[in-house]
Amino acid sequence: MLKLHEKSGDDTVALMADIGRRARAAARPLAIATTAAKNAALLAMADALLAREQDILDANAIDVSNGEESGLSASFMDRLKLNPARIRAMADGIREIAALRDPVGDVIAEWDRPNGLHIERVRTPLGVVGVIYESRPNVTADAGALCLKAGNPVILRGGSDSLNSSAAIHARLVDGLKAAGLPEDAIQLVPTTDRAAVGEMLKGLGGTLDVIIPRGGKSLVGRVQNEARVPVFAHLEGICHLYIDRSADLDMALKIAVNAKMRRTGVCGAAETLLVDRAVVSTHLVPILDALRAAGCEIHADAEVLKVFFDAKPATDADWVTEYLDAIIAVKLVDGIGGAIEHIETFSSHHTEAIIAEDAKAVERFFKEIDSAILLHNASTQFADGGEFGMGAEIGIATGKMHARGPVGVEQLTSFKYRVRGSGQVRP
């Protein structure tokens, strides 16, 4: 169905270099594009996705049929498969991005100097973004739209098994760009399944890529983090902790523990380890574990927990560093807030942690001494999400400390520059 680039090696190097050059050339027109033009493009993309729904479903059917032949797993096939509802969700997502405030040009700080200079810090696009993702075709639409809103050209490298679907979606994004008079190269899809293309992106396409965002499982993210020669916005895993302090309200602790672990077990903000203050072992521990088990959760307990909650699996050292992404939780007793902080700072992936407490001092220590992207007090870890933060669409959650940390939304995809207004000032 598609004319894909079938060759490899040197051809892919040349192909990727050309894609990089085109992206770089699109950066300037995109950076100065009006909000109206960007939004018109986004709305036209959403319309085009719906208008050409059947083409997308046809392309997806090829990927699905190939995937079935290659014996891909059921969960993989579920992510790959499109239907009219999923296409509508993509279109709706793009329309929500169109409705977001355009960050480019926002004055984020301004001040006057004694010599009369007026200084403004103004948001600008970040640059050329590379997105490397697995076989979720909808990332093509989400990532393309979010990068466009922030004025960034994007190079999309989707999973090989979804390339027909991604290409069909990408073609509709290009329809939108054309309709609004924006450069078609603003959103490019890498048209080859040759894995050398990923290697070229990780090298930065000769200084073209400003940031790479991997979307997918731990092996993909790990490879990108280890090998990329350009900055990466990502989290490798979310080993999120829920700590029940001696001052916790038991009802609240119960409700939040079940939600943090069980609402959705496969998201990065799901709690993986439950830490309970030794001071409330007799009152809080068993009811919370009972509630978790009643919700279908398997308990991996340390030796002390096992003494009072017999029906659990003994936890091993591996449990404290495992992101289950499943209905399993590791449980440990700690010596109050100090013990909780010590455990979390030792084992956390610095994504998201929550404390349930009524004692303000314990909360302040938790907030001050733990260095994770997101810390919550008396709320579920599952709020770790750009939408829940009110940022609108997000492209993921970052645990690095450079530039973007926590949810990466449209503002996090911008940089800034200084505008200085004078009236003839020279420096003495």
Q: How far apart are CA 352 and CA 368, in angstroms?
A: 14
Alpha carbon distances (Å) from 145 to 92, 107, 306, 366, 367: 11, 23, 50, 37, 34
208-245: b or e for each residue (b if 16 or more CB lie within 10 Å)?
bbbbbbbbbeeebbebbbeebebbbbbbbbbbbbbbbb
Question: Rounded to the nearest whole angstrom, what is the least distance from the CB of residue 367 to a second copy in the complex?
Answer: 5
Give φ, ψ of 232 to 5 degrees: -125, 130
Q: Which of 398, 355, 397 is nearest to 380 (CA)?
A: 355
Q: Which of 7, 218, 229, 313 binds a second copy (CB under 8 A)?
A: 229
Nearer to a second copy, 193 or 415 (CB): 415
- By CB under 8 A, residue 382 contacts a second copy: yes
Nearer to a second copy, 8 or 415 (CB): 415
Written as one string, the DSSP assignment of 211-254 is EEEEES-HHHHHHHHHH-SS-B---S---EEEEE-TT--HHHHH
Please name the amino acid found at residue 128.
V
Question: Rounded to the nearest whole angstrom, what is the least distance from the CB of residue 132 to a second copy in the complex?
Answer: 18
Which range binds a second copy by CB under 8 A, 2-10, 133-141, 163-171, 413-421?
A: 413-421
Which range binds a second copy by CB under 8 A, 37-45, 168-176, 248-256, 326-334?
A: 248-256
- By CB under 8 A, residue 7 contacts a second copy: no
Is the CB of residue 89 less than 8 Å from the CB of residue 382? no
- By CB under 8 A, residue 210 contacts a second copy: yes
- By CB under 8 A, residue 231 contacts a second copy: yes
Alpha carbon distances (Å) from 82 to 3, 7, 159, 188, 307: 21, 28, 15, 21, 49
Question: Rounded to the nearest whole angstrom, what is the least distance from the CB of residue 314 to a second copy in the complex?
Answer: 29
Site for a second copy in 301-360 (CB under 8 A): 345
| Lookup result for tokens 């574990």 | 289
Q: Which of 25, 36, 99, 105 binds a second copy (CB under 8 A)?
A: 105
Beta bridge partners of 53: none
Q: Which of 37, 252, 281, 327 binds a second copy (CB under 8 A)?
A: 252
Which range binds a second copy by CB under 8 A, 3-11, 12-20, 254-262, 308-316?
A: 254-262
Task: Return all residues near 61 (Cβ < 8 A) that are at least 6 apart.
Answer: none
Which range binds a second copy by CB under 8 A, 72-80, 88-96, 311-319, 415-423?
A: 415-423
- By CB under 8 A, residue 371 contacts a second copy: yes
Size of the site for a second copy (CB under 8 A): 61
Interface ranges with a second copy (CB under 8 A): 28, 31-32, 105, 111, 113, 117, 119, 122, 124, 126-127, 210-211, 229, 231, 249, 252, 255-256, 258-260, 263, 345, 367-369, 371-380, 382-383, 388-390, 401-403, 405-406, 415-427
